[in-house]
Structures are given as structure tokens and as C-alpha cells.
Amino acid sequence: MTSIPRTACAPALAVGAVLLLVGSTLGLPAPWTLLGVLALLPLIAVVARWAPAPWAWAAGGLAGAAVAYWPVSLLRGAGSSSLLEVVGAGLFWALAAGGAAGAGWFLRRQADLRVRAVRDARREQQLELARDLHDFVAHDVSAIVVQAQAARFVADGDPQQAVRALERIEAAGLSALASMDRTVHALRAAGGGPTSPTPGLEALPELVERFEAGELEADAEAMAGLSREAGTTAYRVAVEALTNVRRHAHGAARVRVVVRRTAGGTELSVVNDAPPRGPRRGPLRRRVSGGTGLAGLRARVEAAGGVLSAGPREVGGWQVSAVFPHGGPCRT
């Protein structure tokens, strides 16, 4: 219904109820008053469904009284009915009016629940997009910071190293822009526009190649065996783990990213050596992390049917490992 009929339905019901009360009181023929009752009952449902609550209560109450009074006036006019019959007839038609109002209220409640579900789904989508933007862009921005600091320290002594650092800064910046483009496409998709897929393990070689000291050992069969959801989640695990290496273990001589089949499923692990002791060249400035941390990462992995573990290694360094079942779950 448009806004005008929604506004007008309650006054229309109130006018109809008054006319029915007047007609019943004046003793109009029963067929005419019955026709008025049959017209009011669906209108009561319409008002309960669409009208603003104060108007619905007022008009609905008046209409319910008119419908209940209709048989009472007929029986009283006949003069041969007992009080019990009069009260019973009034209650019967009052229940009919209440049933019409209940049907309209039920439809109103179902509509409200649908609106709330859509609102909650959009909110969850916004949070998901925010997490994705953090996961991907924070990795590239941390790379830019590290390479910029490295370039500052080697610029005077080794200009060629500074040029290579600038090239890596450019690549990280382009990657961050691509991540933001994907987020914009996802937002457009929520409004019915085109979208682009979230990167999965097929983008892992490029990710590791941009990471200084990164090494990739990937079993192609294991990578192909993951569902789309598990693959994108595994990629997020790698992004977050490499970002944390840059933040907390800058200077680690070796960072290995491994994808392999295990007895429990397909495992992705990110292992870094311990960073050198003593002062480091180009340290990251201290910052407050805005990341989702291991708790958020674990929730993502578990939602994809996997298991996440993280902790220090006995020989030094840190390891993050996520195991996904073979052919893991796939959400549409």
C-alpha cells in the first residue's frame, strides 16, 4: 500500500464503525447492517496491518464495538432473546473482529521481523567488509611502512637498494588500492551493482613474492581441494600472519608459507624465524593495533570448518597454522 491509503485506512474504519453503530441503533434492516459488518472485518485487518499504532488502536476499538453491538441491537429489537443469548452473540462477533485484528497484527509483525532481518544482515555485511578491508589493507600498509623505513636507512649507502624498496612500496600501494576497490565493488553489489570475488589461494604466490624473506611451498593438489570459502579464509590467515610478522618480528631472516595435505585435511602454515637480537635497522614505530587478532582469525577459520593454532616454536620464532577439512564446506 502507498502512504496515502495507509494514512486513510484508519479514519475510513472509524467512519464505517460510526455508521454501523448509527444504523444498528436506528434499526436498519439486518441485511444492510450485516453488509456493513462484512465490510468492516477486512478493513479492521488492513488497519491492524498498516495504520500507525495509535490510530490502529482507536479505530480498531471503535470498529470492534460496532461489530459486537450489531447482533445485540437485532436481538434486543426482537424482544424474545434471553440475556445469555444477547451476550453470547455479542461475544461471537467481538471474537470475529478480534480475529481480523489478530490477522493484521500477525502480518505486521512478520513484516517487522523481515525488516529487522534485512537490517541485521546489512549490518553483518558492513562488519564483514570492514574486517576484510583491515585484513588486506593493513598487510599492504605495514609493508609500505617497513620498506619506507628501510629505504631511508640505505638511501645514502646503497641507492640501488633504495630503488628496489621504492618498487616494493609501489607494489604494496597498488595492492592496497585493489583491496579497497574490491570493498567498493562489494558495497555496490549490496545495492544490486556488479561485484568482484575475494582473493583466494590462487593469489598466495603473489602475496608471498611481495613479502621480503618470504618462501612459498604449495601443493597444487591441496590448494585445489579447498572450497571457495576455505580458500579465501586461508588467504586471510596468510595475510594476517605475514602482517604480524612485519609488526612483531621485523628482521626475521626467513618466513615460510606452506600449503600441504595432512591426515586432518589441508593445512596452511606461516612460520617465521626469530628476529635478530639487538637494535634493528628501520624499526617499526610503536602503534596501537586495530586488528581483529587471533580471536577474530580463529572465528573465521572455524566458520569455514577449520581449526586454527598459533604459538611460539621451540627453536624460536612463531608459527600460525590453519587446517581445513578436505573439500570443506561451501556457502552460497
* Radius of gyration for the alpha carbons in the chain, expressed in angstroms and rounded: 35
Q: Once rounded to an integer, what is the mean pLDDT over residues 226-236?
A: 87
pLDDT, averaged across the chain: 78
Query: Which residues of 103-177 form beta strands (DSSP E)?
Result: none
Q: With both helix axes pointing from N to C terminus, report the angle between 83-154 and 228-248 in degrees, rounded to the nearest 10.
A: 50
d(CA 16, CA 100): 16
pTM: 0.46
Question: Which DSSP string corresponds to 16-32?
Answer: HHHHHHHHHHHT--HHH
Question: Which DSSP string corresponds to 210-277?
Answer: TSTTEEEEE-HHHHHTS-HHHHHHHHHHHHHHHHHHHHHSTT-S-EEEEEEEETTEEEEEEEEPPPPS
d(CA 66, CA 68): 5
What pLDDT, on a 0 to 100 scale, did the predictor assign at position 268? 94
Q: Which amino acid is at 55?
A: W
**Tens digit of pLDDT for each residue in 47-86?**
888 888 888 888 888 898 888 887 877 776 666 667 787 7
Instruction: Label residue 284 by pLDDT band (50, 70, 90).
Output: very low
In 3-state terms, what secondary structure has residue 273?
Answer: coil
Q: Tell me which of 15 and 128 has the higher pLDDT.
A: 15
Instruction: Label residue 135 by pLDDT band (50, 70, 90).
Output: low
Instruction: Label residue 289 by pLDDT band (50, 70, 90).
Output: very low
What pLDDT, on a 0 to 100 scale, did the predictor assign at position 290? 42
- Residue ranges per structural domain of the chain: 3-116, 199-277+290-332
CATH superfamily name and code, 199-277+290-332: Histidine kinase-like ATPase, C-terminal domain (3.30.565.10)
Report CA-CA distances (Å) from 145 to 51, 116, 275: 58, 42, 18
All cell numbers assigned to 207:
602475496
